[in-house]
């Protein structure tokens, strides 16, 4: 059990409005404050109305059309593609095509080759003729970019399933990988959890090399149909790329002599690994890609579509479909109810909703019910650490994540719950688990400890997105903020995290954002955490962050950052069209730094109030979430609501109540961490 310094359970007391004493003397400032108050009321009403009866919030999670294209290709491969699903998916895919015939990976993105190829093939499945104007524009652009031969490995795997690409011209991924012990480089636990869940089933697919009859040729997507698989020159042997390319060639030769009994046993072991990790709802890890590849892998091993594992897996994929008003069908890559619910709870509490409001209590009840109390893959490196924490999705007990756990704790601390003992125990387990998941450099990754091997990213197979999970500033900041609120600001483990954050500050004063776009997200996460941990707003690191945020504020008063900042840092860092979510992040940092009465904050608040829609929401077509920096981007539809409301609530009511908790340490988590390492 824990108790606050005043003996209560940690719920926030009511706060007085934080209007500046000068507001009454400054009509302009008073006008801004009144506009913010009105915006808070409207946004609060809007968000409360969006809560599910069970207590959770979930906004759509929009990515790109590869999710929809691969869903159709899966159904074609399994022989279950139906006309209605195909029509609805094609309607969505066509609607995302741009005038030049391409598809991108985020709003306003340049055309992306692999995405355009997959979208084109999906529309061919839907019956769109290759000489139709929109299809001809797409195929011409694809050829100009190098054709199918220039696509990423994952796209060519999908095409190989139908004979549109040769399996022997793909990187080898042997199923014997499943036998590598954890101390051997390139064992499956060297990969981030999302990559691990995808790679294990793909080892089976790679070993089986299935080919289904192609429903049509794709000659129009090759620069030279007579030689569709041109050989690329190898990198120098002395380079890492050259070494791994030659390793891949050796694995191709090994395939010819690998003992069949060993290979069959490896595939069966991989299948058991996959089945053991199927969630209660039938999915894998709560995300779509591992589910798709797991279904294909098990099907190749003889599991028929009526087998319970397959039946539930296919049913889970249908739950990723979002039906739009025009009849289009969009596939979510994953779903974010825990993340959305904790962020919504924080936003509403900081906007002045009472701590015992029935909807906040209902949200807390739901979050408490989602606590994970059994070990997952993280226990491979922390076998002595007791379980605890929360995942991102509805069902994902194998992979709780550190970021969600920190934010859920911060959310639960804002609620006056009717069962304080239950709440305290859950928070205590979450804090203990997060502390035990600290990496050796003092920071935190999203899912695993010390997931920093340099080798997985070098594999020819891994040419798309991040495949490891190193610590990041945004996750570390959220953990530090949570620990500070829990009364552990001076704990040596918290101080190590703070030192790591200070060392990671960019020369311009910003911080890199791994899971949100990008330097605005990183900075908006770190500054409130440092202040919560006791760092004064006058500290040089915070002053540099404030100066940077002021320097990148847009002329309209808002903040925005384009995803191109991940690729072109100097040109795009902190630059982009103003968005509600990114303006919220910037204001959260400035307010934490003590800049409430600054012109930058006033202009940011004015922009949010002026751009709010009549129903209390904000419009935000831009993608401000990150799956893989640059490669896979996310538009969280609830971000446009929770972060502006959080920022405006803190402007109106002051910084969140952070009276620290006096913790009675029941278990020595430092000793547990030492045992696990």
* pLDDT tens digit sequence for 562-583: 999 999 998 999 999 999 999 9
pLDDT at 580: 98
Give yes or no for residue 668 having a pLDDT over 90.
Answer: no
Confidence label for 248 from pLDDT (cuts 50, 70 and 90): low
pLDDT at 264: 95
Pick the residue with more confidence: 669 or 600? 600
pLDDT at 271: 97
What mean pLDDT do residues 487-496 have? Answer: 97
Clarify whether residues 147 and 271 are in a common domain.
yes
Share of the chain above pLDDT 70, in %: 91
Give the model confidence (pLDDT) of 154-188 as tens digits: 999 999 999 999 999 998 899 999 999 999 999 99
Residue with tokens 């969505």: 92
| DSSP-derived 3-state class of residue 637 | coil
Pick the residue with more confidence: 135 or 666? 135
Q: Are 472 and 501 in contact (CB under 8 A)?
A: no
Clarify whether residues 230 and 324 are in a common domain.
yes
Catalytic pick from 403, 404, 469, 631?
A: 403
Clarify whether residues 154 and 276 are in a common domain.
yes
Clarify whether residues 129 and 261 are in a common domain.
yes
Give the model confidence (pLDDT) of 34-49 as tens digits: 999 999 999 999 999 9
Confidence label for 620 from pLDDT (cuts 50, 70 and 90): very high
Clarify whether residues 8 and 67 are in a common domain.
no
In a domain, 449, yes or no: no
Give yes or no for residue 676 having a pLDDT over 60.
Answer: no
Give yes or no for residue 345 having a pLDDT over 80.
Answer: yes
Residue 376, token pair as written in the block: 């997952």
Element (H, E) at 570: helix 569-572
Clarify whether residues 209 and 340 are in a common domain.
no
Clarify whether residues 377 and 320 are in a common domain.
no
Q: At what angle do helices 599-611 and 580-592 cross, to 10 degrees?
A: 150
| Distance from chain centroid for Cα 100 | 29
- Residue by residue, DSSP assigns 167-207 as GGGS----GGGGG--TTSTT-GGGS-HHHHHHHHHHHHHHH
Give the model confidence (pLDDT) of 348-360 as tens digits: 999 999 999 999 9
Confidence label for 23 from pLDDT (cuts 50, 70 and 90): low
Q: Are 206 and 173 in contact (CB under 8 A)?
A: yes
Select from 313, 331, 349 the last residue of a domain. Answer: 331
What mean pLDDT do residues 362-380 have? Answer: 96
Share of the chain above pLDDT 90, in %: 82
In a domain, 448, yes or no: no
Residue 293, token pair as written in the block: 């590849």
In a domain, 664, yes or no: yes
Torsion of CA 514, 519, 525, 531, to 10 degrees: 140
Give yes or no for residue 637 having a pLDDT over 80.
Answer: yes
pLDDT at 306: 95
Give the C-alpha distances (Å, rounded to integers) separating 120 from 99, 140, 408, 445.
Answer: 14, 11, 41, 36
Q: How many CB atoms lie within 10 A of CB 436?
A: 27
pLDDT at 26: 66
Clarify whether residues 184 and 266 are in a common domain.
yes
Give the model confidence (pLDDT) of 109-135 as tens digits: 999 999 999 999 999 999 999 999 999
What mean pLDDT do residues 357-375 have? Answer: 97
Give the model confidence (pLDDT) of 520-558 as tens digits: 999 999 999 999 999 999 999 999 999 999 999 999 999
Give yes or no for residue 6 having a pLDDT over 80.
Answer: no
| DSSP-derived 3-state class of residue 437 | coil
d(CA 582, CA 646): 12
Give the model confidence (pLDDT) of 401-439 as tens digits: 999 999 999 999 999 999 999 999 999 999 999 999 999
In a domain, 89, yes or no: yes
Give the model confidence (pLDDT) of 442-479 as tens digits: 999 999 999 999 888 888 777 777 899 999 999 999 99
The residue range of the domain holding 512 is: 2-13+24-59+336-437+472-676
Clarify whether residues 528 and 622 are in a common domain.
yes
Confidence label for 231 from pLDDT (cuts 50, 70 and 90): low
Give yes or no for residue 103 having a pLDDT over 50.
Answer: yes
pLDDT at 249: 73
Q: Are 138 and 102 in contact (CB under 8 A)?
A: yes
Confidence label for 258 from pLDDT (cuts 50, 70 and 90): confident
Element (H, E) at 292: helix 288-300
Q: Taking Cα atoms as reference points, which of 106, 97, 123 lies closest to residue 62?
A: 106
Residue 79, token pair as written in the block: 């022989």
Buried b (16+ CB within 10 A) or exposed e, 330-364: bbbbbbbbbbbbbbbbbbbbbbbbbbebebbbbbb
Give the model confidence (pLDDT) of 472-482 as tens digits: 999 999 999 99
Clarify whether residues 95 and 231 are in a common domain.
yes
Half-sphere exposure of 654 toward its Cβ, with a 13 Å CA cutoff?
11
What mean pLDDT do residues 313-329 have? Answer: 93
pLDDT at 657: 56
Give the model confidence (pLDDT) of 596-612 as tens digits: 999 999 999 999 999 99
d(CA 625, CA 480): 21
Q: Taking Cα atoms as reference points, which of 672, 669, 596, 611 lies closest to residue 18?
A: 596
Select from 286, 303, 331 the last residue of a domain. Answer: 331
Give yes or no for residue 20 having a pLDDT over 80.
Answer: no
Name the strands in the sheet holding 632-636, side by side, starting at the edge strand that comes first in the sequence.
61-62, 632-636, 625-628
Helix runs in 373-417, H state only:
402-412
| DSSP-derived 3-state class of residue 632 | strand
pLDDT at 666: 34
Confidence label for 28 from pLDDT (cuts 50, 70 and 90): low
Contacts of 291 (CB under 8 A, 6+ apart): 283, 284, 285, 313, 316, 317
DSSP E strand stretches across 9-151: 61-62
Clarify whether residues 285 and 304 are in a common domain.
yes
| CATH, residue 140 | 1.50.10.20
pLDDT at 623: 97
pLDDT at 244: 65
Clarify whether residues 50 and 139 are in a common domain.
no
Element (H, E) at 32: helix 27-49
Q: Taking Cα atoms as reference points, which of 163, 148, 204, 153 lies closest to residue 77?
A: 163
Residues β-bridged to residue 516? 625
Is 403 assigned a catalytic role?
Answer: yes
d(CA 196, CA 398): 12
In a domain, 572, yes or no: yes
d(CA 150, CA 147): 6
pLDDT at 656: 76
Confidence label for 324 from pLDDT (cuts 50, 70 and 90): very high
| Distance from chain centroid for Cα 475 | 11
Task: Flag whether the pTM goes above 0.95.
Answer: no
Give yes or no for residue 233 having a pLDDT over 60.
Answer: yes
Select from 310, 331, 352 the last residue of a domain. Answer: 331
In a domain, 456, yes or no: no
Q: Are 297 and 205 in contact (CB under 8 A)?
A: yes
Q: Share the mean pLDDT of the chain.
A: 91
The number of folded domains in the chain is: 2
């Amino acid at each position: 059990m824990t108790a606050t310094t005043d003996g209560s359970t940690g719920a926030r007391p009511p706060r007085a409005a934080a209007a500046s004493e000068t507001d009454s003397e400054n009509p302009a400032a008073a006008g801004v404050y009144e506009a913010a108050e009105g915006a808070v009321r409207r946004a609060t009403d809007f968000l409360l109305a969006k809560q599910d009866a069970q207590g959770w919030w979930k906004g759509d999670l929009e990515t790109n059309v590869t999710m929809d294209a691969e869903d159709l290709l899966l159904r074609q491969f399994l022989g279950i593609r139906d006309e209605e699903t195909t029509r609805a998916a094609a309607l969505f895919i066509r609607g995302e095509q741009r005038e030049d015939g391409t598809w991108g990976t985020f709003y306003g993105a340049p055309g992306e080759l692999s995405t355009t190829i997959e979208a084109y093939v999906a529309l061919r499945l839907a019956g769109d003729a290759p000489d139709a104007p929109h299809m001809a524009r797409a195929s011409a652009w694809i050829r100009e970019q190098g054709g199918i031969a220039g696509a990423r490995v994952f796209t060519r795997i999908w095409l190989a399933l139908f004979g549109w690409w040769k399996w022997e011209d793909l990187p080898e991924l042997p199923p014997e990988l499943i036998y590598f012990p954890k101390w051997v480089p390139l064992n499956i636990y060297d990969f981030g959890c999302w990559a691990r869940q995808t790679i294990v089933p793909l080892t089976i697919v790679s070993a089986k090399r299935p080919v289904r009859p192609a429903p049509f040729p794709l000659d129009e997507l090759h620069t030279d149909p007579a030689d569709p698989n041109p050989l690329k020159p190898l990198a120098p042997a002395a380079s890492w790329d050259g070494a791994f390319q030659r390793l891949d060639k050796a694995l191709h030769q090994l395939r010819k002599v690998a003992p069949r009994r060993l290979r069959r046993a490896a595939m069966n072991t991989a299948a058991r690994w996959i089945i053991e990790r199927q969630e209660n709802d039938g999915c894998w890890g709560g995300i779509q890609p591992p589910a798709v590849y797991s279904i294909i892998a098990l099907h190749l091993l003889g599991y028929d579509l009526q087998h319970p594992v397959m039946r539930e897996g296919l049913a889970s994929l249908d739950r990723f479909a979002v039906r739009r008003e025009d009849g289009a069908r969009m596939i979510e890559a994953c779903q974010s109810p825990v993340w959305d619910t904790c962020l919504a709870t924080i936003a509403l509490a900081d906007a002045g909703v009472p701590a015992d409001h029935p909807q906040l209590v209902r949200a807390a009840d739901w979050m408490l019910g989602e606590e994970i109390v059994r070990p997952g893959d993280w226990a491979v490196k922390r076998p002595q650490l007791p379980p605890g924490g929360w995942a991102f999705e509805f069902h994902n007990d194998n992979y709780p994540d550190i970021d969600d756990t920190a934010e859920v704790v911060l959310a639960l601390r804002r609620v006056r719950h009717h069962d304080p003992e239950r709440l305290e125990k859950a928070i205590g387990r979450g804090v203990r688990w997060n502390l035990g998941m600290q990496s050796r450099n003092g920071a935190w990754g999203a899912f695993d400890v010390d997931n920093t091997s340099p080798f997985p990213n070098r594999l020819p197979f891994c040419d798309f997105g991040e495949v490891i999970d190193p610590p990041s500033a945004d996750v570390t900041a959220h953990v530090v903020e949570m620990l500070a609120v829990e009364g552990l600001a001076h704990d040596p483990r918290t101080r190590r995290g703070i030192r790591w954050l200070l060392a990671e500050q960019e020369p311009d004063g910003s911080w890199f954002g791994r899971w949100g776009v990008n330097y605005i997200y990183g900075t908006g996460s770190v500054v409130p955490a440092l202040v919560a941990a006791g760092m004064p707003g006058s500290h040089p690191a915070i002053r540099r962050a404030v100066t940077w945020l002021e320097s990148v504020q847009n002329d309209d008063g808002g903040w925005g950052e384009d995803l191109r900042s991940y690729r072109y840092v100097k040109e795009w860092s902190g630059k982009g069209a103003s968005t509600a979510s990114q303006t919220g992040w910037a204001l959260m940092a400035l307010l934490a730094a003590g800049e409430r009465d600054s012109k930058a904050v006033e202009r940011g608040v004015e922009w949010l109030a002026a751009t709010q829609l009549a129903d209390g929401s904000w419009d935000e077509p831009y993608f401000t979430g990150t799956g893989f920096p640059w490669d896979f981007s996310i538009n969280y539809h609830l971000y446009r609501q929770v972060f502006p409301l959080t920022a405006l609530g803190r402007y109106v009511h002051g910084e969140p109540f952070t009276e620290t908790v006096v913790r009675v340490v029941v278990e020595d988590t430092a000793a547990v961490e030492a045992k696990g390492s």
